[in-house]
Structure formats: C-alpha cells, structure tokens
Chain A
Amino acid sequence: MNESILTLLIFIPVIGALAMLVFAQFGGKENPDGFKWIAVIATGIQLLLGIWLYLNYNPTDTVLTSAFTVQKEWIPQFNIQYYIGVDGLSMPMVLLTAFLSFICVISSWKITKSPFGFFALFLLLDAGMMGVFVSLDFFLFYVFWEVMLLPMYFLIGIWGGPQRQYAAIKFFLYTLFGSVFMLLAMLTLYFYSDPHTFNLIALIDTAKTIDATLWGFQIKYLIWLCLFIGFAIKVPVFPFHTWLPLAHVEAPTAISVILAGVLLKMGTYGLLRISYPLLPGEVYHFATILAVLGVINIIWGAANAIAQIDLKKMVAYSSVSHMGYVILGMAAVVSNSKAGAEAGMNGAAMQMFNHGTITAMLFLLVGVIYDKAHHRYIFFPKDYKDKALAGKQGFGGLGAQMPIYSALMAMAFFAGLGLPAMSGFISEALCFIGGFSVDTTFAGESSIIRILTIIGTLGILLNAIYFLRAFQHVFFGKLNEKYKELTDISLRELVCVVPIALIILILGIYPAPLIEMIAPTFSNLIDLIQSTPIMGI
C-alpha cells in the first residue's frame, strides 16, 4: 500500500475516466446519471486514499525517508524518472485536491450538457492536479502541469458562461505563455546540472553550483526569473492576474472552485517546491520584490473587488488579494528572526490550504444563488439589457427568505475577511507577522519588507469592505418581491458546503493538525535558504 498509494491517487481518476469511456459504449447514452456515479466513486476512492495517507503520514519524514516515495526509471535515455513523494509542502495540497474534487463532482450533479464529457475531463484534470503536487521530477511535474491545461480549456470553453470561449482561450494562452518560460528554465537546469537530471531533490545540490553567465547575468538568476514568470501567472501575481477574473466568472461553479481552490496554489507551490530549494541565493535577492508584489496583490485585488457588481467577479478578485498574503508570507523567509521566518513561511502554506477551502465555499455558495436566480449581480450594470433593472440592486433582503443560506454565506464572507475563529485569520495573521519581522535580513542587511507589510495590513480593512458591502446588498434590506418564492439551500448543496465550513471552523479554532503536518518541512526549507551564503547578482 505504501509504495502504490501516491500512484493510485493520481491514476484512480484516470481509471474512472476510462471506465466512463467503456460505459459510454454500453448504455451510457440512455443513462447519463451513470457518469456522475462513476465520477463520485472515483473521486470518493481518491478522497479515502487521501485520508488514509493523512493518517499514516509522518510529518517529520522528508521525501527521502518517507515510505510513500516512489522512484522509478521512466525515460532513462534522458535520465527522466517517475519520482513521486509527499512532504509537508505537498500533503495539504494533496488533501485539498482530493477533497475539493469530490465536493465538486457532487456540486456538478445538475450538469445536463454532455455529462460524459464533463466528468471525464474533470477526472483527467483531477489526475493532472494530483500529479503536479506529488511529482519530484521536474519533467514529470511539467507533464502533469500541461496535462491539466487541456481539460481545463474544454471545461471552461464548453460548459462555461456567455463569454466562455474568450475566457477559455485567454486562460489557455496566458498559462501556456508561462509554461514556455518554465520549460526554458527546466531545460536550462537540466543542461547546466552535472550529471544532467530533472530530479528536483538532486537539483537542490547541483543547481546552486551552476556558475555561468549569459548576457552578463548569472544563469541562475535568469532561471529564477523564468520560473517566476511561469508560476506568477498561475498564482496570479500582479500584473499577470487579469486572466483570473474572466476565467473564474465564465467557468461553471465546480470549475471555478477548482481554479481558485487548487490551480492558483500551483503557482505558489511551484515557487516553494522548485524555486526556493533550488535557487536559495536568488530567493534572497528577490524577496523584496516578492513582498512588493504580494502587497500590491493584497491591495489591488481588494480595491478591485470593492468596485465589482458581480458577486462571482468580486470573489474572483478576492482571490487575487488573498493569494497576495501567500506571496508576502513567502518573502519573510529572509527574516533575521527565526520566529518571523517560520510565521511567514508556515502562514503562506496554511493560507494556501485555507484560501482553498474558503474560496471554494464562496464559489459554491455564489453558484447556489446563480442556479436559483439566474443572475448574481449585487447591482445590475448600468447598461444592463433590461432597462428597468439597470443600475438597480440585484437582490436584497434574502436574509429573511433564505436563513440557512444566508448564515452559510455570512460564515464564508467572515472567513474571507479574516475573522478569528475561522482558519483564514490565522494564516493571514501569520503572513503579516512574518513580513513584519523583516526589518533586517538574515544576512544582516536592512530591508523594507516591514514597511511594505505595514502598508499591506490595509488589506484587513479593504477585505472587510467588499464582503460586508455585498452581504448588505444581497441579504439585508427589504425583501425583493421578485424573490419571495426563492427556496433555501438544498440538501445536496448543503452536503457540498457544510464539510468545507466545518474544516474552516475547526482549523480556525484548533490549527494544530495543519501546523503539525507542515511545520517540520518548512523548518528544513528555512534552514536550507538561510544557510546559503549570499553573493551579489
């Protein structure tokens, strides 16, 4: 079991997709619900395996000592390996992927347009995501990274909203643009390492010995930049973020959940998995820029969210803001205070997980109201096609009409604005604490990251503004007569949302399970980076 668990995690969805293919030939046409059940079973097994993995996972293991690590030859001619494993960095992401995939299948129950295609592509996407998070070979990582793209393109482009094709192509091209840089970095690393390898663990030792220049720059610095562009687009880091609101808004609910809940984390995951350990010296030089970008993300994302009139677009921009916390926390690795570096790095990792759950809950709940009311405007746009509604409040007074739904939405909103007792508070606070600690770096240079963090704390206020504003206009006030027939949230939707709500609450009150899982790994990573001698660019 130990040896095969990770492989199973990746390929169970693929088996599910193949099963659908067979089923489609034998009776699938008459019985479209069968595809949903296959998807439920596949993701359900995956989730159970994920839980088993969590229960048997030993946080103090590294990938080198872990029993789950698998290292096999794949393409020996180029020294490419099937090398997979988990540590404290990937563990929360694996669990998040398995959990959200399962939830998303249930939440997509009402898909009527070609369920076969939807669920088969969804399972392939699931396999790709899982693969990215367990790969320890850069080539394998890159393959899975690209494997995800295609199903995502079709899922947005076929099952999305009115502008789905524009959104899909924009998402695809933008991400592909980043992938090119990543490919460049990967091949450079391969050819400059000795012996040539894609093995990310081996590269920790060899990458830092690369000593060559190109156009007067250190190659390592260029590799860092290429990797950064590739990952930054995924996060998305300002100014590479504009594919996000469009893709999130146009994607069907489940796909928005996956996009915001899992795919965005791949950007920061890639930075932490590849850029950080391989290029610690460059991390040091780039930390201030990371902090600048993180703070811009926090404030720019929130300010844009405040201006949105579409609930889903608001949530999408809130993701931009919340991913900024992760970037800011990651910059704290250069802190001269061990406690500060720990707070920042662990905070970033926790924020990745917590934002995954919170934003999933937000998108699911926005999806619920969209299914019922067929729109999700806080205010109708001024140029709305129905002139009588243009500029008017979209909902209003739903608090009395849909008490359970509004309670859940209140919880999700307050989790989003970082209320204590919800998981987001802890991770956001830790990211700030981390950033605030950096008035001097571990190499003894003074740093402006503390000042940047102080500016960033404005996010505490800005995030509250748009959530409360939206909550007021949707749920408070007199009930909009149009919606007095609206029913409260259904049981199936509750099944999707309540488990997420429980996780948010439990980790907000008692974060130890998450912290214990990640802290040892990040302690090692901080030591690795802080023990690097710092040289000029």
Chain B
Amino acid sequence: MPISIFTLFLILPLASFIFQLSIGKRIGRNSHWVSLSFIFVTLCIALGNLFSEISHHSDEHASNLVFNWIDLGTFKIEHGFQLDSLSAIMLVVVSLVSFLVHLYSTEYMKGDPRYTRYFGFLGLFTFSMNGIVLADNLIMMYVFWELVGLSSYLLIGFWFEKDSAANASKKAFLTNRVGDIGMFLGIMTIYFFTASLGSATLSFDGITALFQSSFSSFTPADITIVTIAGVLIFCGAIGKSAQFPLNIWLPDAMEGPTPVSALIHAATMVAAGVYMTVRIFPFLTPQALEVVAVVGAVTAFGAAIIAITQKDIKKVLAYSTVSQLGYMVMALGVGAYQAGFFHLTTHAMFKACLFLCSGSVIHAMHHALHHLNDHKTDPQDMSNMGGMRNKMPITYASMLIATLAIAGVPLFSGFLSKDMILAGTLAYYHAHHGWTIILPIAGFGAAVITAFYMFRLIYLTFHGEPARKDVYDQIHESPLPMAFPLMLLAGLSLAFSFTFNLNPMDSHGWFTHLISEGINVVGLNMSQVIDGIHHAHHDAMIISLTVAGIGIGLAAIFYLYKLVNVEKLAGVLNFFGLYNLSYNKFYIDEIYDAILYRPFMWFCNLFSWIDWDLYDQKFIDFWGWFTLKISDGAGYSDYNWLDQKLVDGFGKITNKFGQGLKVTQSGIIQNYLLGGVIGFVTIFIIFKAF
C-alpha cells in the first residue's frame, strides 16, 4: 500500500473530532453517522493492510520518513511511520474496537446532552492511539502518548458534573505524568547515548541497528546507561499500563462511560504501554528486563487479589485489566516477546467484550431503576443483580465466552496467549533459579484467582436468584447496535480466530506466523529464551489447565452452589485483616494520600507562605520600609537639626549678635570715633605684627 494511505489513520479520526466539535451539535444525533463512517473506512484500510501484510510477510521493517519536525542544524527530530506486522495488527485492533465502541455508543449514549462531543472525543482518541501505533521513534510516540492521555482525561471526565468523575480524570492524567517524566528522561538518555556512539537517533529501528553493531564494544558503564534508559522509558509504560506502583488511576477511570472503559481503559490505550515496551524490547538489557518482569508479576498478582472482593462489576473488570496488563508486561520481562504481544491482542478482544457486556448489564439496570424511579440503588453493584441470564441471553452468552477466554480455558483465545506467558515464566525460572520462582508463582497464582473472580462475576450477575425482583422484571436485552459488537467480540475471543486450527492446544496460526519471536541486541540470547519456552510449554499447559479448573471450581462452590457461606469466610479471613486489605485495594490510595499528596500540598502552601507572606511582605518590603524610615530620619534631621538648629542657628546667632551690637548703635558721635580709632589701631598692630 502506498505510504500516503497511512496518513488516513490519523486524518479520518481527527476529521471526526473536528467535525463533531465544530458543527456536530447543530446536526444533532445523526452526526454519529459521520464518525461511524470515518472510523469504518479506517477499519477497512487497517484490514486491507493486515491482509497484505499476511500475504507478503517479510521481516524487513519498513519505515518511511514523512515529516522533518524539528531541524536546528545538528539537532534534528524526524517523524515517520513504522510499518510492520506489529503495527498492522495494532491498527486493526484499535480501529476494530473503536468502530464497535462507536456503534455501541449510538445506543448507550443516546439522549446524553453532550452526545456529539462524546463522538468527537472518541475520534480524538482514535487519532492519538493510531499515532502511537504508527510512531517510528520515541519522541513521536511520546507526543501521541500525551495526546491519548488528553483524550482519556476528557472521556473519564465526560460526566464532569459528578465530582468522582472530575477527580478520576485529574488523577489519571497526573499519575500518567509521573511515568511520563521517567519516559522523557529515558528518551533523553538514549538520545545522548546514541549521539556519543556517533549517530544520534530516536527511531526504534535506528537504535536497534546502532546497538547491534556497537554492542560488542560496550563498556560496563555503557550497559548501565542502556539499562537505566530502558527502565526509565519503561516508567512511561508503568503509568500508561497501570502497573504497580502507578496502578491507582485505572480503577478510578471507570467513572467514564462504559464504552470508553472498553475502548480506552481495557483494550487499547492501557495496552499502549505494553506496545511501547514491545517496541523498545530489542534494546532492553537483561537487567532492565528483570525489572520489567518483577513489576509485571507484582501487578498481575496484586491486582487479581483486589479483584476478588470488589462488588462493583466495572471495578472487578478494572482490576482484572490491571492484572492482565501485568501478565503482558511480565511476559516481555521474561523474554516471551511473542506471548506478550499475543496476549495484548487476545486481551483486547475479550476484555473489550467483557466491558461492553458489563455496559449492557449496567444499561439495562439503569433503565430498570430509572423506570422504578429508584435513584439510590447502584446499577453497577453486583449484589443488586443475579439471574440475568434469562433476561439477557446475548449478553450472557458473549460474556461467558469472554470469561472463558480470560480464565484460560482451552478453545478460547486467552488460553493460548496466557499459556505462552506462563511457559515463559517457567522457562525463566528454569534458566535463573533462585528468587525468580516468584514469577511462575505470581503467574499461576494470578491464573487461579482470575478464573475465580471472573466466574464469581458471572455467577453473581447472571446466575442464582435475582437480588431485586422488581428491578429484574424491568430488565431487557440491549438493542442490536449494542448486541452486535458483543457477538463479534465474543467470536474473536475464540482460539480459532487466531489459529484457524481446531486443535485447542496448538497456538500456531496466522498470528504467530506474523509476529516474530523477537530480537534483542543488548545481551539477551533470544534463541536460548525461545528454546526454554518450548521446553517449558508442556508443563505450563498442564499446570495452567489445573489452576483454571481450581479457580472455576472454587467460584462454583462459593457462588453457584453456595456450599460455603461467603460472608462467614470473609469474616474469618478478616480476622487477619485479609478481606479488608483486598477490598480496600491494599490501602494504596490512602498511603499515597498520606505520604505524598498531603505533605506535598502542605509544602506548597508553606512555600507560598514563605514566598509571599515572609519573603516578599517581610523581607522585600522591609527595604521599602527601611528606606522610608531612613528618609524620614533624613527629613527629620534635615529640617529639625540641619535647617532648624544649624542653619537657623547661624541666623539666630547672627540675630543675637546683632541684638547685642544694637546697643553700640547709640547715635553718639564720640563713641563712633572712639570705636574707629580702636579699630584703626588694632588693624595697624596686626599688620605691624606680621
């Protein structure tokens, strides 16, 4: 395909944004056809590009220079498109989910006073996300990285009348900025390091090629620099992909409309961190990858534990997303490059499906509650649901398929990708031993928990007796524009979609053919890693099947058959504070609030007090006061002493003297003559004397 076609990935969604914000409101509800058709065209081009990539697949990375952005002479930044199978797949993922979410939103957002603005923001998001995908260098990625942050901010805060939404959007943006500082520092480190190697570059291929040719001459100090740079850039991913310790924003981001959560906070934007890590994977040193793996493992396991106890259906899915993103990151950390990207893609499909299904449920609940004039009941709380499978069969079936996928059941896509990741962690342990055992433990542990909490969600929502009969009676299945995306995404959650192969244990197919197994030019021996993964594959599969079975079984015992009283169990666990620990998300928000936010605000207020009340008003104005006092003193002494005392003193003395002399002015001639003679004699004597 000609390179200029790829600009459409940016132009069309951006045009949708501009259209909706400028004249969309005047057209009203029908303006969504413009956005829908623009995104549909984008999807068609993305699909066409993917098919051509599949048919003429080569490992050659095509990168085209299109834009000389900054040129200061020596310092240059050039932007181009990264066109390879990774971007081809990501473009399809983004366009597809974006299109389905657009379609779904035509029903979900019906009647919203800011309907057209909503579609505009979706366009802005799609534009920025495509920019990330197509970026061939770190700065261009950073630019669009921040722009998805903007669209995320705007969409989380879409219902800004709610304080919780306004807070969540701010929190999301600021938390991401923390990671972005690291990313920016990393970019600068890489830039000046490549400059010191003689060819300053920020393009992914350029850095890879440069390091490949010069790695043999790297000193240990150089390797440390590359490690630091890699970890710093990865900080961006920690923020964007909600990894520990910057995971706090994503659950709050659920304040946005649910289709937005599906698109941005599940399928695509949060995966951008993983996508970026995939892009920088070739120049992440083994030490940097170790950090990546640990961050991923902690996140995958920790978030899964939190998800167990959440009551809000979207919160469960939010923590599940955090946990699954942790899997992807961990996969990259242990060198399972293909698995990480595979899981990104499968996760995009089943998690988008899960969110849209939950949106369908919430939508139905909301309408039912609205019908009953009940504005107190939370439509997202699972304890108000139950038995909904009879009322919402399409939603139920789709959600079940997606849940089977995320739980890692054979025949479904998540099984394939998660299995590859788990094999990767196992292989990593086999290769390194020691503490690295925590990686497979976190991986398999999170797998049990995932299966458990996802089926807990299914059972609480769709099975059992309805918690509120009156609400239940008003529940209806969602209309076709909402149901169609669910079915399509459920279809894409089947393993078959990625392999075209009926053997549920075989992950080979068009997808794995398209994605290479990854290269690393800074010291990681990829062929060893890949061999290790192949060897571990069999064991991993058996364990993962077992753990998925345990998780689903436990969920069924607790929530479907109710053989154990869950409340009591929670009480027992709470004896050690465990239940509350999970329910309150390990108190991370509270800890940050106490050790970061509050002291920070206190210091800002202190600085302000120092700056204004102390420094300016006291110190600077002191000089004004001082000068005034000096002037006052000078004025006082000038008049009272110098003028009144000294100058006028002379006057007074003269006056007094004159008064005294006045008596000599007697008018008696003899006296005058006598005085004249005395004077004359005196002068004569004085002259004589000298």
Q: Which residues of A contact B143 (CB under 8 A)?
A: 420-421, 425
> Is A337 within 8 A of B604, CB to CB?
no
- Tell me the interface secondary structure of chain B in the complex: helix
A342-B73, A420-B147 known; A475 vs B611 contact (CB < 8 Å):
no
Q: How far is the CA of A316 from the CA of B376 in the complex (A)?
A: 44
> Is B147 within 8 A of A419, CB to CB?
yes
- Tell me the interface secondary structure of chain A in the complex: helix
**Interchain nearest-CB distance for B108 vs A (Å):** 20
The listed residue (B21, B72, B615) touching A239 by CB distance below 8 A is: B615
> Is B608 within 8 A of A477, CB to CB?
no
> Is A515 within 8 A of B72, CB to CB?
yes
B166 at the A interface (CB under 8 A): yes
> Is A478 within 8 A of B161, CB to CB?
yes
Please, which residue of chain B has its CB at the minimum distance from the CB of A308? B608
Q: Number of residues in A with C-beta < 8 Å to the partner?
A: 56
Q: Which residues of B contact A475 (CB under 8 A)?
A: 160
B184 at the A interface (CB under 8 A): yes
B180 at the A interface (CB under 8 A): yes
A472 at the B interface (CB under 8 A): yes
Residues 495-537 of A, flagged 1 when their CB comes within 8 A of B and 0 if not, give 0000000000000000110010001001100000000000000
Q: How far is the CA of A342 from the CA of B191 in the complex (A)?
A: 14
A338 at the B interface (CB under 8 A): yes
**Interchain nearest-CB distance for B575 vs A (Å):** 41
B573 at the A interface (CB under 8 A): no
> Is A420 within 8 A of B142, CB to CB?
yes
Of A254-262, A278-286, A367-375, A431-439, which binds chain B?
A431-439
The A212-259 residues at the B interface (CB cut-off 8 A) are 239, 242, 245-246
B410 at the A interface (CB under 8 A): no
Of A68-76, A130-138, A179-187, A460-468, which binds chain B?
A460-468
Q: How far is the CA of A458 from the CA of B181 in the complex (A)?
A: 7
**Interchain nearest-CB distance for B213 vs A (Å):** 21
Question: Chain B CB within 10 Å — which of A308, A407, A464 has the most?
Answer: A464
Q: How far is the CA of A468 from the CA of B168 in the complex (A)?
A: 11
Of A5-13, A104-112, A298-306, which binds chain B?
A298-306
Q: How far is the CA of A421 from the CA of B148 in the complex (A)?
A: 12
A414-B150, A454-B185 known; A464 vs B166 contact (CB < 8 Å):
no
Q: Which residues of A contact B113 (CB under 8 A)?
A: 400
B200 at the A interface (CB under 8 A): yes
Q: Which residues of B contact A339 (CB under 8 A)?
A: 72, 74-75, 195, 200
Question: Chain B CB within 10 Å — which of A303, A338, A426 has the most?
Answer: A303
Please, which residue of chain A has its CB at the minimum distance from the CB of B196? A337
> Is A304 within 8 A of B166, CB to CB?
no
Please, which residue of chain A has its CB at the minimum distance from the CB of B159? A476
B650 at the A interface (CB under 8 A): no
Of B169-177, B295-303, B346-354, B437-445, which binds chain A?
B169-177
A304-B604, A433-B191 known; A245 vs B612 contact (CB < 8 Å):
yes
A303-B604, A304-B608, A511-B70 known; A460 vs B181 contact (CB < 8 Å):
yes
**Interchain nearest-CB distance for B240 vs A (Å):** 14
A342-B73, A460-B180, A461-B177 known; A477 vs B170 contact (CB < 8 Å):
no
> Is A303 within 8 A of B603, CB to CB?
yes
Q: Which residues of A contact B21 (CB under 8 A)?
A: 407
Please, which residue of chain B has its CB at the minimum distance from the CB of A434? B75
Residues 603-636 of B, flagged 1 when their CB comes within 8 A of A and 0 if not, give 1110110011001100010001000000000000
Please, which residue of chain A has its CB at the minimum distance from the CB of B76? A339
Q: Which residues of A contact B374 (CB under 8 A)?
A: none
Residues of chain A having any CB pair with chain B under 8 Å: 170, 173, 239, 242, 245-246, 300, 303-304, 306-308, 337-340, 342-343, 346, 397, 399-400, 407, 414, 419-421, 425-426, 429-430, 432-433, 436-437, 454, 457-458, 460-461, 464-465, 468-469, 472, 475-479, 511-512, 515, 519, 522-523
Q: A437-B188, A464-B173 are in contact. List 13 more A-B contacts (CB 8 A).
A: A242-B611, A303-B603, A303-B607, A304-B608, A337-B192, A338-B73, A420-B142, A429-B184, A432-B184, A457-B184, A469-B170, A476-B165, A523-B72
**A-B residue pairs, 8 tightest by C-beta:** A307-B608, A476-B166, A242-B616, A420-B143, A339-B75, A476-B160, A342-B72, A306-B604
